[in-house]
Structure 1
């Protein structure tokens, strides 16, 4: 296929990628045929997936609004993917234009596109880094993104921790970010779960095993354990649609949106 202008050289166009599949589910245009084929295969067994992804995005928006109102003005969005409408900097700047946002992703396509659309906004930066290397990520966020680690930072881990395998000890990663941020900092997490999903979840994991980022769904108890050290704000760790929903966002069956979400304060 012809390589689009926004896709950097060296990227394999024939292998699906989680960030680009997510972009497709959200109605974006920054994905390739391999990504769309994988998404369509997933949709055949789980047609509600686009609604689930949009619910995840809605949680992100609500969490950012809450954190700005709570006094946080710096955001570190880990595994940010490809920016779409209603992303972190748009939501944060609607509350306070002085907010600073650093997007971090390991995918060069996501980072290249982020840099293109963010060009000229000194308050927002995109860096390519692996969230499993906290010291490197925080160094780049300070050097390139201007984050002041002596001031509160909200670490956003939304729809990304399920791509961190157990072997990489996600709980220890969260601890490392918590200990490196100032008092008053925060975390926002949304994590996929297989709780109550049966065969759908197993098939979905099998599809993502074909990508560079296989999926590890976790239980409510496992996710709760990762957040030790943070004080979770009400309503705690709940299904994503139940975390401080807007009036029109509560579905009849919250458990059909298989992701747990929470915001914690340091």
Structure 2
């Protein structure tokens, strides 16, 4: 694959954006204040916001959690990042954060949303020392992602890797067994690797019925949403050593003094997050 070409040769995939149907990535972009969303996305997102206005601030807090966790990984010497469920490019993408600490950092982005694919070149704009690549694939297809030429060209699986599944698995229903799929990725990582993970929850919601209405609103719009409990989210880290402070609301994971996080309480976070290291 060419350095700044998200797909090889002339084999760019056909794009079916279905702008008339809400999409989770575009709704998330709307919550973050982005412009890569359409009327159907905004309509669905506004229905969610009417029920639970803090969805937007929770999404923004989750994005800041990603930044803090990536900075930690880079400060610990990790120079390889596999970011699955990338989403539409926004401020402080993984490669921007990592390469600000270590310009030689390499990042492979993975997503299956056609609109993310249209922005792939923005995700490939890294430092001269580092490299980035984009892979059009679904989280469920772990074999394709782990063996793809784009992945193998940038990631050496004999050295520690930061595996990112941030705000992703709550869009994978229980019948697809997201934990079993995650285990394939965890098994491919060498000792010393980090897993950066966040997941939506209703545990933090002050009103359980309000939280249930949010889930129903997503599903009525055709977007699967499966929030999970703190116990189940913690279970995704099984076999790895959680770094302090463990699995906590994303606003409380190693806060860096950002006043936007300090102004929020845990009920507004909407998601638990954590970082774990694979033991030897």
TM value normalised by structure 2: 0.87
Q: Is the 8 Å Cα contact of residues 85 and 168 (structure 2) preserved in structure 1? A: yes
What SS is found at the alignment partner of 1:209? helix
Extract unaligned runs of 5+ from structure 1. 1-7
Q: Structure 1 residue 10 and structure 2 residue 48: aligned?
A: no
CA distance in 2 between partners of 1:89 and 1:167 (Å) = 33
Task: Work out whether 1:100 is the aligned partner of 2:106.
Answer: yes
Residues 1:43 and 2:64 aligned together: no
1:171 maps to what in 2? Answer: 179
Alignment correspondent of 2:139: 131
Contact 1:79 1:160 in 2 (8 A): yes
Q: Which residue of 2 aligns with 1:156?
A: 164
String of CA shifts for 1:146-184, please: whole Å, max 9, x gaps: 211222111101111101111121221221111111111
Aligned counterpart for 1:246 among listed residues 256, 259, 278: 256
**Contact 1:19–1:107 under 8 Å retained in 2:** yes
- Could you tell me whether the CA contact under 8 Å between 2:201 and 2:228 is conserved in 1? yes
Task: Specify which of 209, 213, 223 is matched with residue 219 of structure 2.
Answer: 209
Equivalence for 1:22: 28
How far has the Cα of 1:210 moved from its partner? 4.0
Unaligned segments of structure 2, at least 5 residues: 1-13
Q: Choose the corresponding residue for 1:230, options 237, 240, 245.
A: 240
Aligned to 2:271: 259
Deviates more, 1:62-71 or 1:167-176: 167-176
State the number of aligned residues.
Answer: 260
Paired position in structure 2 for 1:189 = 197
1:200 aligns with 2:210: yes
Matched, 1:32 2:38: yes
Native 8 Å contact 2:79 2:105 kept in 1: yes
Q: CA deviation at 1:141?
A: 6.2
Paired residues of 2:23 and 2:41 also in contact (CA < 8 A): yes
Please say if residues 125 and 144 of structure 1, whose CA atoms lie closer than 8 Å, have aligned partners that are also in contact.
no
TM-score normalised to the size of structure 1?
Answer: 0.91
Give, in whole Å, the separation in 2 of the partners of 1:14 and 1:170: 28
With 109-118 and 70-79 compared, the bigger mean Cα shift is at: 109-118
Task: Answer whether contact 1:127 1:141 (CA < 8 A) is retained.
Answer: no
Other-structure match for 2:188 = 180
8 Å contact kept, 1:174–1:227: no
Report how far residue 64 of structure 1 moved: 0.2
Tell me: CA distance 1:116–1:242, structure 2 relative to 1, closer, same or farther (3 Å): closer
In 2, Cα distance between equivalents of 1:33 and 1:252:
29
Larger deviation, residues 197-206 vs 36-45: 197-206
Question: Shift of residue 207 of structure 1?
Answer: 2.1
- Determine if contact 1:79/1:157 at 8 Å carries over to the other structure: yes
Deviations 1:22-70, CA, capped at 9 Å, x for gaps: 1111111111111111111111111122211110000000000001111
Specify the alignment match of 2:3 in structure 1.
none
1:114 Cα shift?
Answer: 2.2
Instruction: Answer yes or no: is the 8 Å Cα contact 1:124–1:145 preserved in 2.
Output: no
Deviation at 1:115, TM superposition (A): 2.7
Which deviates more from structure 2 when the two are superposed, residues 166-175 or residues 116-125?
Answer: 116-125
